């Protein structure tokens, strides 16, 4: 039996590895190669096959490639810069970082978006799992009913629960096997696609269900590309806090999560166009043949469980921010997250068909948040955070704002969401004329950022208390940052300080 | 049902251990904050004006130009 002190040391170690304690430079795992490899492993997930299928509904191969590549690189760039630079510098977990702009309690609202994002993707991916099972049975000569898909989702939920509650090690082993295999499978499928059909046929293939206006089709797919990039908001801080240098935090994320993901999406786009189906589990047998196709299907089915497990794992960690759930056993948190996916058991097809609207939802939610965090970190704080007050619930803390909420940031998010929905209806696919040249995500990112910047700058020039919002507490920051460089030149040692009301 | 003395003692022990662990985590958090706050900036690598210029051109301007160029 271990001694109490050994038990305590183990709890602290677990908290630093899997909890919210900021990571010290020597604890970070990723160098340049490691950061690229990890980001690529994250990027090549099964949802790439879904994105490509959605794009194939509206545009052909060339336009789809342009929209997916340009959109996702742009989206990842806008969403990654602020969280990457801040989480890398201070070793912070993403929701903790959000407190700097949204407040100690306001960040919990952002947490809701985060959880909805993870739960939604898990549900969609598990429907893909169910579809995969049904198509394997079909390829083997059976005639399964549609109930198989819902049953598949239920099975997927159970397998995800087992994987996540059995610990990180099993999850890491699973991912170490799944990610490289998924890359190999994608390359093999792309080679077979080119060999069987050739680029000329792929380039000439007609979109599946285009709208009447070609320009609108093009801009909607670009919008989906940008939204797919914004979807990474939930994961960029986790990756960045594990990197040693700022460049390793930024460049691998944009190149792998943006460009790498888009290229994998393109394989799905081409296959969907040639086979005339937007369901990734339906084109694998026609493209790969009976043996290779079924192998690919089995593999994607397994990969779906691995991807779901990662999403639910991060969701469970995020739920630890909620006071009521903080001390609950891990399996309780996992169960809470999975219960939210139960509707996918009963209405799998209906919810899966709304997947492109859910993709747009990510733009709705994360575009304003990204713009606000960027304006806050780059223009208002010049890259410098008061890291002590992030973990201090004391009302005198810099990030307490008004009873824990920073209303300029929260109102700006609302403005961004209203603006998004005014410009583009993701369910009906109708758009305002402005959408045709500006998309919806970009204005929904830039406008809230500018509103927030202007509002906070006005407060800064107002009352002394408001000035305190932006000026770090004495001894809290080590020195002035060089504008635009995120460097704290001339750093002086800070006086000893204790947390007044720790919120870890 | 009231807890037995043994259960009560075990519960106290668990509570003490949990409290000790919470205190240890806060102490460790404060240690980390001191280190991160006073650490030399060079330790975290550079991301200067050139990086910003490259990033904006490659990841913001170039995608927009590409989309404009490829429009129907």
Q: Which of A88, A494, A497 has the CB atom closest to B44's CB atom?
A: A88
pLDDT digits (tens, 9 = 90+) for A78-91: 999 999 999 999 99
> Hey, are the CB atoms on A245 and B44 less than 8 Å from each other?
yes
Query: Of A490 and B44, which is predicted with more confidence?
Result: B44
* pLDDT < 50 stretches in chain B: 1-3
- Number of residue pairs across A and B with CB atoms under 8 Å? 143
Mind telling me how many Å the CA of B25 is from chain A's nearest CA? Answer: 6
Print the SS3 string covering A231-297: CCHHHHHHHHCCECCHHHHHHHHHHHHHHHHHHHHHHHHHHHHHHCCCCHHHHHHHHHHHHHHHHHH
A405 forms bridges with which residues in the sheet?
A402
Which chain B residues touch A25 with a CB distance below 8 Å? 39, 43-44
Task: Return the pLDDT at A150.
Answer: 93
List pLDDT tens digits, range A262-281.
998 999 999 999 999 888 88
| Gap between the Cα atoms of A451 and A453, Å rounded | 6
Q: What is the pLDDT of residue A218?
A: 96
Whole-number Å distance between alpha carbons of A85 and A87: 6
pLDDT tens for A323-367 read 778 778 888 888 988 998 999 999 998 888 888 788 777 778 899
pLDDT at A1 (0 to 100): 41
Query: How far does chain A reach from its first CA to its final CA, in angstroms?
Result: 28
* 8 Å CB contact between A18 and A85: no
Q: Are A238 and A314 in contact (CB under 8 A)?
A: yes
pLDDT at A479: 37
Question: How does pLDDT run across A455-488, given as a tens digit for each residue?
Answer: 999 988 765 545 445 544 444 443 334 334 444 4
DSSP-derived 3-state class of residue A90: helix
A405: DSSP letter: B
User: Under 8 Å CB-to-CB from A252, ≥6 apart: which residues?
Assistant: A32, A35, A36, A38, A39, A239, A243
| Size of chain B, expressed as the number of residues it contains | 72
- Take residue A404 and report the two structure tokens written for it: 């824990």
Burial class of residue A473, CB neighbours in 10 A (0-12, 13-18, 19+) = middle
What CA–CA distance (Å, rounded) separates A35 from A197? 36
Tokens of A443: 């204005």
Q: Which residues of A210-242 are buried (b: 16+ CB within 10 A; e: fewer)?
A: beeebebbbbbbbbbbbbbbbbbbbbbbebbbb
List, for residues A46-55, the tens digit of each pLDDT value.
Answer: 778 888 999 9
**Tens-digit pLDDT profile for residues A93-117:** 888 999 999 999 999 999 888 888 8
A492 min Cα distance to partner chain B (Å): 7
* Four-point Cα dihedral A252, A254, A260, A266, nearest 10: 180
Q: Biggest alpha carbon distance in chain B?
A: 80
Of A4, A70, A250, the CB nearest to B47: A250
Cβ within 8 Å of A, B 10-69? 17, 20-21, 24-26, 28-30, 32-41, 43-49, 51-52, 55, 59-60, 62-64, 66-67, 69
User: How many separate domains does chain A show?
Assistant: 1
Q: Say yes or no for a CB contact (<8 Å) between B25 and A11.
A: yes
Nearest by CB: A502 against B26, B35, B67? B26
Q: Kindly state whether residue A348 falls inside one of the protein's structural domains.
A: yes
Q: B25 and A15 in contact by Cβ < 8 A?
A: yes
**Cα–Cα distance for residue pair A132/A147, rounded to 1 Å:** 13
Closest by CA position to A301, among listed A89, A103, A134: A134
What's the gap in Å between the CA of B4 and the closest CA on chain A?
Answer: 23
How many domains are there within chain B?
A: 1
Helices A61-90, A261-275: crossing angle, 10 deg rounding = 150
- Cβ of B8: how many Cβ atoms within 10 Å? 11
Give, in degrees to the nearest 5, the angle at Cα A273 between A75 and A311.
45
Distance CA B19, CA A8 (A): 10
Residue A142 pLDDT > 60? yes
Taking the CA of residue A341 and the nearest CA in chain B, the distance in Å comes to: 33
3-state secondary structure A449-492: HHHHHHHHHHHHCCCHHHHHHHCCCCCCCCCCCECCCCECCCCC
Candidates A62, A85, A488; nearest CB to B47? A85
The pLDDT value recorded for residue A185 is: 84
Range of the structural domain that residue B55 is part of: 5-69
CB distance A21–B17 less than 8 Å? no
Q: Does residue A243 belong to any structural domain of this protein?
A: yes
Q: Which two tokens stand for residue A48?
A: 């790439």
First CA to last CA distance, chain B: 76
Nearest in space to A80 (alpha carbons), one of A317, A258, A244: A258
Residues 6+ apart with CB under 8 A from A71: A221, A222, A223, A224, A225, A226, A227, A228, A229, A262, B63, B67
Interface with chain B: mutation pick from A25, A65, A256, A371, highest number of B CBs within 10 Å: A25
> Is B67 within 8 Å of A71 when comparing Cβ atoms?
yes
Please give the structure tokens belonging to residue A499. 């947390």
Query: Which member of A12, A67, A70 has the closest CB to residue B28?
Result: A12
Find the domain containing A412 and state its range: 28-469
Residue B29 neighbours by CB distance under 10 Å: 22
Q: State the Cα–Cα distance between residues A281 and B9, nearest whole angstrom.
A: 57
Structure tokens at A461: 């020039």
- A55-90 burial, b at 16+ Cβ within 10 Å, e below that, comes to bbbbbbbebbbbbbbbbbbbbbbbbbbbbbbbbbbb
Query: Using an 8 Å Cβ cutoff, are A162 and A330 in contact?
Result: no
To the nearest whole angstrom, how far is the Cα of B35 from the nearest Cα of chain A?
8
Confidence (pLDDT) at A477: 42
In a domain, A442, yes or no: yes
Spatial distance between the Cα atoms of A234 and A130, rounded to a whole number of angstroms: 25
Evaluate if residue A201 carries a pLDDT over 50: yes
Query: Between A66, A89, A498, which is nearest B70 by CB?
Result: A66
* CA-angle at A232, arms to A115 and A296, nearest 5°: 95
CB A368 within 8 A of CB A410: no
Instruction: From chain B, pick out residues whose CB is under 8 angstroms from the CB of A214.
Output: 72
d(CA A400, CA A167): 35
pLDDT over 70, % of chain A: 88
User: Phi and psi of A491, rounded to 5°?
Assistant: -65, 135
Residues of B within 8 A of A388 (CB-CB) are 33, 37
Return the higher-pLDDT residue of A320 and A424. Answer: A424
Residue A478 in tokens: 């080590």
Subunit contact A387:B70, Cβ cutoff 8 A: no
Per-residue model confidence (pLDDT) at position A475: 43
Report CB contact under 8 Å: B41, A489. yes
**3-state secondary structure (DSSP) of residue A186:** helix
Quote the CA–CA distance of A23 and A30 in Å, as a whole number: 12
Yes or no, beta carbons of A9 and B24 under 8 Å apart: yes
Mean local confidence (pLDDT), A397-425: 94
Q: What is the CATH number of the domain that holds A205?
A: 1.10.4160.10
Instruction: Say yes or no for a CB contact (<8 Å) between A11 and B67.
Output: no
Measured in angstroms, the CA of A282 and the nearest CA of chain B are apart by 29
H or E element in which residue A497 lies: none
């Amino acid at each position: 039996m271990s001694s109490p002190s050994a038990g305590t040391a183990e709890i602290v170690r677990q908290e630093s590895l899997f909890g919210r304690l900021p990571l010290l430079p020597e604890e970070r795992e990723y160098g340049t190669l490691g950061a690229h490899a990890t980001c690529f492993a994250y990027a090549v997930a099964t949802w790439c096959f879904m994105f490509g299928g959605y794009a194939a509904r509206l545009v052909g191969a060339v336009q789809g490639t342009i929209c997916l590549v340009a959109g996702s690189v742009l989206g990842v760039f806008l969403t990654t810069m602020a969280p990457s630079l801040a989480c890398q510098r201070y070793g912070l977990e993403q929701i903790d970082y959000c407190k700097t702009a949204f407040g100690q309690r306001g960040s919990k609202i952002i947490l809701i978006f985060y959880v909805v994002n993870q739960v939604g993707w898990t549900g969609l991916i598990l429907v893909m799992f169910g579809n995969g099972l049904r198509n394997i049975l079909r390829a083997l000569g059976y005639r399964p009913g549609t109930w198989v898909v819902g049953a598949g989702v239920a099975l997927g939920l159970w397998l995800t629960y087992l994987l996540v509650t059995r610990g990180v090690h099993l999850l890491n082993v699973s991912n170490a096997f799944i990610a490289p295999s998924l890359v190999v499978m994608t390359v093999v499928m792309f080679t077979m696609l080119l060999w069987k059909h050739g680029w000329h046929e792929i380039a000439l293939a007609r979109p599946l269900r285009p709208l009447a206006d070609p320009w609108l089709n093009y801009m909607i797919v670009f919008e989906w590309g940008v939204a797919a990039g914004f979807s990474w908001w939930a994961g960029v801080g986790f990756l960045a806090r594990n990197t040693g240098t700022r460049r390793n935090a930024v460049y691998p994320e944009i190149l792998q999560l943006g460009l790498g993901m888009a290229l994998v999406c393109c394989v799905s786009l081409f296959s969907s166009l040639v086979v005339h189906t937007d369901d990734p589990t339906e084109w694998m047998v026609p493209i790969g043949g009976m043996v290779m196709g079924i192998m690919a299907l089995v593999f994607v089915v397994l990969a779906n469980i691995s991807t779901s497990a990662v999403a639910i794992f991060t969701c469970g960690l995020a739920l630890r921010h909620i006071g009521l759930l903080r001390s609950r056993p891990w399996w309780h948190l996992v169960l809470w997250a999975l219960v939210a996916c139960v509707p996918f058991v009963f209405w799998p097809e209906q919810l899966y068909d709304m997947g492109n609207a859910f993709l747009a939802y990510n733009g709705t939610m994360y575009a304003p948040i990204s713009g606000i965090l960027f304006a806050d970190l780059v223009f208002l704080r010049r890259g410098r955070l008061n890291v002590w007050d992030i973990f201090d619930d004391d009302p005198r803390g810099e990030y307490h704002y008004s009873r824990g909420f920073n209303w300029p940031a929260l109102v700006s998010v609302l403005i961004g969401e209203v603006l998004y929905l005014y410009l583009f209806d993701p369910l009906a696919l109708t758009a305002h004329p402005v959408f045709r040249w500006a998309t919806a995500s970009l204005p929904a990112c830039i406008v809230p950022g500018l509103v927030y910047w202007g509002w906070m700058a006005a407060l800064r020039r107002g009352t002394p208390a408001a000035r305190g919002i932006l000026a770090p507490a004495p001894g809290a920051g080590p020195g002035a940052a060089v504008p635009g460089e995120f460097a704290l030149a001339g750093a002086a040692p800070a006086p000893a300080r204790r947390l007044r009301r720790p919120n870890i | 049902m009231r807890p037995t003395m043994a259960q009560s003692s075990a519960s106290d022990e668990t509570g003490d251990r949990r409290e000790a662990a919470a205190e240890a985590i806060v102490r460790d958090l404060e240690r980390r904050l001191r280190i991160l706050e006073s650490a030399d900036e060079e330790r975290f690598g550079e991301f200067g004006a050139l990086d910003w210029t490259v990033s904006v051109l490659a990841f913001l301007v170039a995608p927009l130009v590409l989309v404009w160029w490829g429009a129907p």
